[in-house]
Amino acid sequence: MTYYSGRHFLQLPGPTNTPARVLRAMSKATIDHRGPAFAELTHRLLDGARRLFRTEHDVFIHPASGSGAWEAAIVNTLSKGDRVVSFEQGFFAQSWAKVAGRFGIEVMQVDWNPRIGVTPDAVLEQLDSDSSIKAILVVHNETSTGVTTDIESIGRAMRASGHEAMLFVDAVSSLAVTDLQHDAWGIDVTVTGSQKGMMLPPGLSLLAASPRAMQAHATATLPRSYWDWDDQKAFNERGFFPYTPATNLLFGMEEALAMLDEEGMENVFARHDLFGRATRAAVRAWGLDMVALNEREASRAATAVLVPDGHDADAVRRVILDRFDMSLGTGLGPFKGKAFRIGHLGDLNALQLVGTLAGVEMGLRLSGVPCETDGVVAAMEILMEGATV
């Protein structure tokens, strides 16, 4: 028997569930993107983006997915032959490095255990070995593994080292999920996408750029057109874009920013922290392992669950989709077939999380994966601590 009534559970680590308020905001009629109402909207959104990134400097909004922001970060600040460092944190870190490589950037790939976060010492070791490094590329929350890297410590170590390298951070699945402070942490370029913590459909990429990144931009020579920050800034200052922007997504963004403001960012972060802990309590109670080795580094956005040898993680996902109409994330890269990922970010409350975990528990049992049956109970114990959600 399959039950298809009610809401589909989109428990991927992105795209996430879009709140009804955001969908309604986006269903307004499209307006003139060169008119006065639009200019006011643009200014409000750029201010909102600055608050999200915790920056007082330049922010950019492009119609694109997160990968577009990766490209924008590179073509705006680097030149052919420049050297950057990337750690083998997982699928997304390596995909960003690949984009850089395609533009003729020399990427120094550092062998890294994807089950742990990048350490400041590892970054310093690279910087010590080469004074010509232009940028360090780090993923804040590697969505393929559910491992978070301590960006604040890396930023501090880089500044203390006196090395000139810029710090580029992929915050696609961490912004509006966990604390990130572009200015205070010394980040030069932060990139994100709309479809994860921001609760929007896919289609917007956002970036924050430090004054140092803007200086690098002034002399960087990679070819760029659509992503060019000079064009973008010149138009943005007047409230417009150099091209037709994704107007209705921008309506949605304004509503999502209002929702985040109403909840309060501290509460948003605390909610995601609680949901991450509840999910991991469930996984431990099932007797299964996670890709993330250390609780301290475990993601507030997503949990990658390993299935025992001889079992197929994608078969578990298929059963859950067929029987309970819930989508989970597939294993990526080396974790294909070995792990599935539970997204617990974005527009989600405690009861939706309990439903999600119940679906996973039933799916594991129906697929014949050996597991204990008290995962949901363990999660509920954690959720009862969180009085505000």
Check if the beta carbon of residue 247 is closer than 8 Å to that of residue 30: yes
Closer residue to ligand PLP in complex, CB, 13/245: 13
User: Could you give the residue ranges of the DSSP H alpha helices within 162-302?
Assistant: 211-219, 229-237, 247-263, 265-286
Binding of ligand PLP by 14 (CB under 6 A): yes
Tell me how far apart the alpha carbons of residues 116 and 181 are, in angstroms, rounded to a whole number: 22
Q: Which stretch binds ligand PLP (CB under 6 A): 153-161, 170-178, 233-241, 281-289?
A: 170-178
Binding of ligand PLP by 67 (CB under 6 A): yes
Tell me how far apart the alpha carbons of residues 155 and 159 are, in angstroms, rounded to a whole number: 6
Least distance to ligand PLP, CB of residue 41, Å: 23
Binding of ligand PLP by 158 (CB under 6 A): no
Tell me how far apart the alpha carbons of residues 353 and 11 are, in angstroms, rounded to a whole number: 9
Site string (114-153) toward ligand PLP, x via CB under 6 A: -------------------------x---x----------
Q: What is the DSSP string of 231-250?
A: HHHHHHHTT--SS---HHHH
Please list the helix, strand and coil fractions of the chain in percent, rounded to the nearest 5, in that order. Answer: 45, 15, 40
Least distance to ligand PLP, CB of residue 11, Å: 14
Structure tokens at 134: 């232009």
What part of residues 47-66 is at the interface with ligand PLP (CB under 6 A)? 65-66
Q: State which H helix or E strand residue 108 sits in.
A: strand 106-110
Q: For residue 302, what are the β-bridge partners?
A: 343
Q: Binding residues for ligand PLP, how many (CB under 6 A)?
A: 11
> Phi then psi for 329, rounded to 5 degrees?
-80, 145
Site string (77-96) toward ligand PLP, x via CB under 6 A: ---------------x----
Binding of ligand PLP by 197 (CB under 6 A): no
Exactly one of 17, 94, 126, 173 binds ligand PLP (CB under 6 A); that residue is: 173
Least distance to ligand PLP, CB of residue 178, Å: 12
> Contact positions toward ligand PLP, by CB under 6 A?
14, 65-67, 92, 139, 143, 170, 172-173, 193
